[in-house]
Chain A
Amino acid sequence: MWADTLLIVFISICTALLGEGLTWLMVYRTDRYQKLKAEVEKQSKKLEKRKEIHGDSLDKQQKKKLEREEDRLKHNNRDLSFVKMKSMFAIGFAFTALLSMFNNIFDGRVVARLPFFPVTWIQGLSHRNLPGNDYYDCSFIFLYILCTMSIRQNIQKVLGFAPSRAASKQGNSLFGPAPGQFK
């Protein structure tokens, strides 16, 4: 069982690296992305600073100016999401295929033992495709998701691909809040 557990950690490191590598190839290294990212970061920092300095004491004209800048930032943020989207779809498809392959390999196999009793709404995930009613048994998908959550985020951070805090705080991307906001 332990071999399976460690194998899953290894798999999730590999897929995280692969995912970031592919995204780098298709998105991060492109000029358009880099320009937009730099622009968004600059604007968000500027906006944040301005808000901090002025606080609520803004006259009408300043407020309008601030709003205009916010709009521009939103626009840029949307562009940034569009640049990312295309490759995200491609990578998403590839990963769905990979995941279903691993799901088949680990089908019905208990890969780890949980040291806690999972709450009901997690049981569907932690006991997916496992025989029996022992909910302490952990399925592949649950461990894989946990590994990916921690490993991918940290790899992004180390490589400098994670969205900056100022940008994710200021602008909302196309699909609601940026991932950085959930940290």
Chain B
Amino acid sequence: MSQKSKPLEKNGATNINKTSVWSRAFTANSEWLDKEEFLDVIYWIRQVLGVILGVVWGVLPLKGFFGLALFIVINAVVLYLYYSNFQGVDEEEYGGPWELTKEGFITSFAGFLVTWIIIYTGLHYEKLEEL
């Protein structure tokens, strides 16, 4: 018995440490021993969110200041819900909510603008030009 349980324990222990960042990112209340890792997750979620919102805004199409403001609000709110409600991390550990809110924001904003402009130009403006 003791022989059997030993490797199990070992496996269990390594599994906790090595659970991939991916699965932890999508599991509620995961443990984040490495702050950098969690900040990276926040960073990449922001990038993906930026591109997705860019595509949606372009297809709809949303226009003007409203589109920009809505992106900023959604981006901040979604990530806030993610780290405070879903993951339940202590913001103070990461230097306050502002640090987490600005993590990857500018890059995400640029990615959003690029996709929004591209899709909008291709779907809605190109047609007008042809007419």
How many angstroms between the C-alpha atoms of A114 and B107 in the bound complex? 19
Q: Is B56 located at the chain interface by the 8 A CB criterion?
A: no
Cross-interface CB contact of A112 among B36, B103, B106, B121, cutoff 8 Å: B121
Q: How large is the interface on A (under 10, 10 to 19, 20 to 34, 35 or more residues)?
A: 20 to 34
Chain B residues within an 8 Å CB radius of A153: 107, 110
- The closest CB in chain B to the CB of A111 belongs to B121
Is A1 a contact partner of B43 (Cβ separation < 8 A)?
no
How many angstroms between the C-alpha atoms of A116 and B111 in the bound complex? 16
Chain A 1-41 interface 0/1 with B at a Cβ cutoff of 8 Å (1 = within):
11001100100000000000000000000000000000000
Chain A residues within an 8 Å CB radius of B116: 115
Chain A residues within an 8 Å CB radius of B124: 113
Is B106 a contact partner of A182 (Cβ separation < 8 A)?
yes
Q: How close is B129's CB to chain A, nearest CB, in angstroms?
A: 7
Is B63 a contact partner of A165 (Cβ separation < 8 A)?
no
Q: Is B45 located at the chain interface by the 8 A CB criterion?
A: no
Cross-interface CB contact of B125 among A6, A113, A147, A164, cutoff 8 Å: A113
Cross-interface CB contact of B122 among A5, A164, A165, A182, cutoff 8 Å: A5
Decide if the interface of chain B is mainly helix, strand, loop or mixed. helix
- The closest CB in chain A to the CB of B65 belongs to A116
Is A115 a contact partner of B120 (Cβ separation < 8 A)?
yes
How many angstroms between the C-alpha atoms of A150 and B51 in the bound complex? 10
Q: How close is B15's CB to chain A, nearest CB, in angstroms?
A: 25
Q: Which of A6, A116, A146 has the most CB of B within 10 A?
A: A116
Q: Is A117 located at the chain interface by the 8 A CB criterion?
A: yes
Cross-interface CB contact of B64 among A5, A117, A138, A182, cutoff 8 Å: A117
Is A2 a contact partner of B64 (Cβ separation < 8 A)?
no
Known contacts A5-B121, A117-B64, A153-B107, A143 near B47 by CB under 8 Å: no
Q: Is A154 located at the chain interface by the 8 A CB criterion?
A: yes
13 A-B pairs with C-beta separation under 8 A:
A1-B121, A1-B126, A2-B121, A112-B121, A113-B121, A113-B125, A115-B62, A115-B64, A115-B67, A117-B65, A146-B110, A146-B113, A183-B106
- Given A146-B110, A157-B43, A165-B36, output 6 extra A-B contacts at Cβ < 8 Å: A115-B116, A116-B67, A117-B64, A146-B114, A153-B107, A183-B104
Closest 4 CB pairs of A and B: A150-B111, A149-B110, A113-B125, A150-B110
